[in-house]
Each structure stands twice: as C-alpha cells, then as structure tokens.
C-alpha cells in the first residue's frame, strides 16, 4: 500500500480531470456580430451569443471604443441567442477597432473583442457617450468561451498532457542513456528502451487528440505548422531509435549505439523545438499571437483541471514505465540465471 499511493493518486487525478474537462459548462459569450464596420449614424446589428439566455434577461448592449461607451438605444431580444441592437454612432471615435459588450443581470457582462472596424478615425467622440456597463464577475465554474474554439477548448486537458508526459519520459530515457554511456549497465539500456516505448504511446495519443481537434478547428487532419513539424520530428527520431536497436545484434554494442543516438537526437530536437516557432508563423494555440491558456483563464477555471490532468497522466506514464522496467529487470536476472 505504501508504494501504491501515487498510482491511486494518478488514476484519481486523470478520472477527476477528465470528468471535469467534459462536464464543466462553457461560459456564456458573445461570439458574432452581423456587421463588420460601424459608420457614424444609426447602425443596426444582430448579435449572436453562445450558451446565453437572452429571453430571461433584459440585456443592455454597448460598443466600446478607446474607453468610450455607446449604449444601444433600441434592443430587441429575438431568442435566447440573438439580439438586435441599434446604435447611434457618434463621429470621431479614436481607435481602429471597437468591442461589443452585452450586459446581463444573471450572466454578467460579455465582451466580443474587436467586433467592429471603425472606418473614420478621429480624436474621440464628444457626444452620445455614456457610462459603461457594470463590471460583473461571474462566480460559477465555467470554461472560457472563444468564438474560434467553442467546446473544443476541452481538448486542452487531453491533448497537452500527452505531450508533457511524452517529454518527461523522453527526458528519463535521456538520463538512462547518459548512464549507459558511463557505466554500460544493461538494465539502464532496457530502461531507456522502456521509456521510449511508453513515450511513443503518449506521442500517438497526442497526435490522435491533436488531429481530431485540427479537423474540427482548422478543417484538416494535418497541416504544415511549426508545432506539428516538431511533433513529427520527435516521433520520427524515436522510431529511428527503435530501428537502430533492431539492426544491431550484440547487446553491449546495441546499448552503446542506441545511447549515443538518443543523446545526440534529444539535444538537437530540443534546440529545434525551441528555435522553430521563432522561425516560422504558426496557427497553433500559444504561438504566433494565437490565444493560449494564459490569456484565457480569466476566471482560473482551466488551471486546476489542466494541472490535475498533467500530473495524473504523468503519473500513469511513470507507472507504465515502472512496470516495463521491472519486467526488464526480471528478464535480465532470468538470463543471468539461465547462462550460469
């Protein structure tokens, strides 16, 4: 029992994180406005919400430009997700882009960033400006809602932990390999192999979850992207590692050659993965100005679930490695006994 607690913990964390990742509702949000630009004068806009209940509220609609608010003078609720609002837009708004705000009584104030383009820039409106809506904080536990991700934001808790776990296992393989170079210990060679095997399992799951997400979000199973190239290179390196092992028969020589390749490839891969996103544009969340985790968690609802998932999956990866390592130890002991 004493040595089992972390296995229970890992399984528990993965279960809790997965249930939370799937069951937590998405926060209500404004996701679309029917007009792309607001000209001075009257403008009518249809606003689309997601997970909203406009019919049970009396929503107020605002446009914000450079800290100045314009309230809609006519608001008509069409259904739970749609409102039509009319703005009398004054002249001289100072910023290029305006935000759209919908203020509700029970669901707080929702903001659609950069909803409208402002074609005629000035130095600030002089009239028609009102107080902004109250800054209400939501207190319920919900995932942030962005109009490019919607429900697919849940994949954060499945996709990213796979890669983190893979990197942990590959780092363990590196440590084993360095030890093999120093000592030639056959058990450590088998440890490196076990870590690579388990890391490839996690890489496979990372590719699967990523591919499904990419299909839903980008429209293709695979795109040419810096992060994806990094993932492909990583998988190819460790498959090549297995091929190298397969082509050498002498165990001591195999251990040494595999260790050399592992150290060489790991360091170059690390440099590549650090340098590549700086070289090329990327569509992947977290690079190229795309929103990532840190810009989302305004209400810190993603963090606890994500950390639990990462720790849990890392624990399960370590457990798998532990099993394989123990199996290798038995096999080596068995071989010794056999030869004697």
Please report, as ranges, the residues that interact with other proteins according to CB under 8 A.
181, 229, 233, 236-237, 240, 243-244, 247-248, 253, 256-257, 259-261, 263-265, 267-269, 271-272, 275-276, 279-280
- Answer for the pair 205, 169: CB distance below 8 angstroms, yes or no: no
Which of residues 11 and 283 has its CB atom nearest to other proteins in the complex? 283
Smallest separation (angstroms) from other proteins to the CB of 272: 4
Which of residues 44 and 183 has its CB atom nearest to other proteins in the complex? 183
Smallest separation (angstroms) from other proteins to the CB of 233: 5
Smallest separation (angstroms) from other proteins to the CB of 255: 11
The whole-angstrom separation of Cα 231 and Cα 242 is 17
Which of residues 48 and 276 has its CB atom nearest to other proteins in the complex? 276
- Residues sharing a CB contact under 8 Å with residue 121, sequence separation 6 or more, in sequence order: 93, 94, 95, 96
Smallest separation (angstroms) from other proteins to the CB of 57: 52
The whole-angstrom separation of Cα 81 and Cα 52 is 6
Smallest separation (angstroms) from other proteins to the CB of 230: 9
Q: What is the dihedral of CA 210, 211, 212, 217, to 10 degrees?
A: 80
Which of residues 252 and 333 has its CB atom nearest to other proteins in the complex? 252
- Residues sharing a CB contact under 8 Å with residue 63, sequence separation 6 or more, in sequence order: 38, 69, 70, 72, 87, 89, 98, 99, 100, 101, 115, 116
∠ CA 331-332-334, nearest 5°, is: 65
DSSP 132: P
- Answer for the pair 102, 61: CB distance below 8 angstroms, yes or no: yes
Smallest separation (angstroms) from other proteins to the CB of 248: 5
Nearest of 226, 321, 314 to residue 274 by alpha carbon:
226
Which of residues 1 and 243 has its CB atom nearest to other proteins in the complex? 243
Residues linked to residue 29 through DSSP beta bridges, in sequence order: 50
Which of residues 143 and 202 has its CB atom nearest to other proteins in the complex? 202
């Amino acid at each position: 029992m004493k040595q089992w607690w972390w296995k229970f913990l890992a399984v528990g964390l993965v279960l809790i994180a997965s249930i939370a990742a799937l069951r937590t509702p998405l926060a209500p949000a404004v996701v679309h406005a029917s007009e792309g630009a607001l000209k001075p004068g009257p403008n009518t806009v249809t606003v689309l919400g997601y997970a909203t209940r406009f019919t049970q509220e009396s929503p107020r609609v605002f446009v914000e430009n450079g800290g100045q608010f314009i309230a809609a003078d006519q608001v008509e609720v069409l259904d739970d997700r749609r409102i039509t609002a009319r703005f009398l837009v004054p002249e001289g708004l100072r910023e290029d882009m305006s935000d759209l705000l919908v203020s509700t009584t029970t669901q707080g104030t929702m903001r659609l960033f950069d909803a409208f383009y402002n074609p005629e820039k000035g130095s600030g409106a002089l009239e028609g400006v009102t107080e902004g809506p109250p800054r209400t904080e939501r207190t319920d536990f919900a995932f942030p809602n962005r109009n490019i991700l919607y429900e697919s934001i849940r994949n954060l808790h499945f996709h990213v932990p796979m890669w983190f776990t893979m990197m942990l296992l590959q780092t363990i393989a590196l440590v084993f390999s360095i030890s093999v170079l120093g000592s030639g210990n056959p058990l450590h060679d088998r440890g490196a192999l076990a870590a690579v095997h388990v890391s490839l399992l996690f890489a496979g799951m990372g590719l699967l979850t990523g591919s499904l997400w990419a299909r839903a979000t980008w429209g293709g199973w695979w795109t040419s992207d810096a992060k994806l190239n990094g993932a492909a290179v990583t998988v190819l390196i460790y498959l090549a590692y297995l091929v190298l092992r397969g082509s050498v028969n002498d165990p001591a020589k195999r251990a040494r050659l595999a260790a050399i390749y592992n150290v060489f490839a790991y360091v170059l891969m690390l440099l590549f993965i650090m340098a590549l996103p700086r070289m090329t544009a990327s569509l992947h969340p977290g690079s190229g100005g795309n929103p990532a985790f840190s810009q989302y968690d305004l209400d810190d609802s993603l963090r606890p679930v994500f950390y639990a998932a990462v720790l849990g999956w890392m624990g399960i990866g370590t457990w798998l490695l532990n099993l394989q390592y123990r199996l290798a130890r038995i096999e080596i002991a068995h071989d010794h006994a056999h030869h004697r």
